[in-house]
Amino acid sequence: MIARVRDELVTINGETMTKYELAVRSVIAQTVKSGKPRDLKVLLDLLGQYGAMPQVEAAEEARAQGQAVAQKLMDYFNKTNDIDPLDATAVDRLNELETRLVLGCAHCGPKLRDNWKTADYRARLERYGGSSIHKSVLNSRPEGKSG
């Protein structure tokens, strides 16, 4: 029931929003007026307990938490293996430079791009990910573009 109500749209003063957003706005307004932040916490806890957090927000929160964990792991790995983060940045810049050089070559660039289109390469890409050059190209493109 909470999920259904959460996603139901209402129009207030010409502005369309979900009932979830309306409830949060109302409680925030009441919290500001009354000075009782406990009310907002109760609402958010209730909605969180029953999975009422919108999926986009939940996905973003999970992604951010995953990135934080990954960063902590990398920091620990770098510290225990005496790796300077500046060295990693320098290697990344070197990879980008080499990528531009290889792809800019009139002979190598087209052959490499053709190789990326083969069924064998696509299968390996699905199983293991691409080469460092391919990853560098993908990371340098605007979102949504593939190569």
Residue 113 has pLDDT above 70, yes or no: yes
Residue 13 has pLDDT above 80, yes or no: yes
Residue 30 falls inside a structural domain: yes
Q: What is the pLDDT of residue 58?
A: 65
Query: Is-contact 23 39, C-beta < 8 A?
Result: no
Q: pLDDT band at residue 144, thresholds of 50, 70 and 90?
A: very low
Q: pLDDT band at residue 141, thresholds of 50, 70 and 90?
A: low
Write phi, then psi, for 10 (nearest 5 degrees).
-135, 155
Query: Model pTM greater than 0.75?
Result: no
Do 78 and 88 belong together in one domain?
no
Q: What is the pLDDT of residue 63?
A: 81
Distance CA 21, CA 131 (A): 44
Do 66 and 26 belong together in one domain?
no
Residue 118 falls inside a structural domain: yes
Task: Report the Cα–Cα distance between both ends of the chain, in Å, rounded.
Answer: 44
Do 46 and 90 belong together in one domain?
no
Q: Which residue range is the domain that position 25 belongs to?
A: 2-52
Of residues 87 and 15, more confidently modeled: 15
pLDDT tens digits along 28-77 = 787 777 777 777 777 777 766 766 556 666 677 778 888 888 888 888 87
Do 91 and 135 belong together in one domain?
yes
Do 88 and 44 belong together in one domain?
no
Tally of structural domains, the chain: 3
Residues 6+ apart with CB under 8 A from 46: 52
Tell me the pLDDT of the chain averaged across its residues. 78
Q: pLDDT band at residue 146, thresholds of 50, 70 and 90?
A: very low
Do 11 and 34 belong together in one domain?
yes
For 36-91, give the DSSP string. Answer: -HHHHHHHHHHHHHTT-S-HHHHHHHHHHHHHHHHHHHHHHHHHHTT--HHHHHHH
Residue 11 falls inside a structural domain: yes
Do 62 and 99 belong together in one domain?
no
Do 112 and 130 belong together in one domain?
yes
Distance CA 59, CA 98 (A): 35
CA-atom Rg of the chain in angstroms: 24
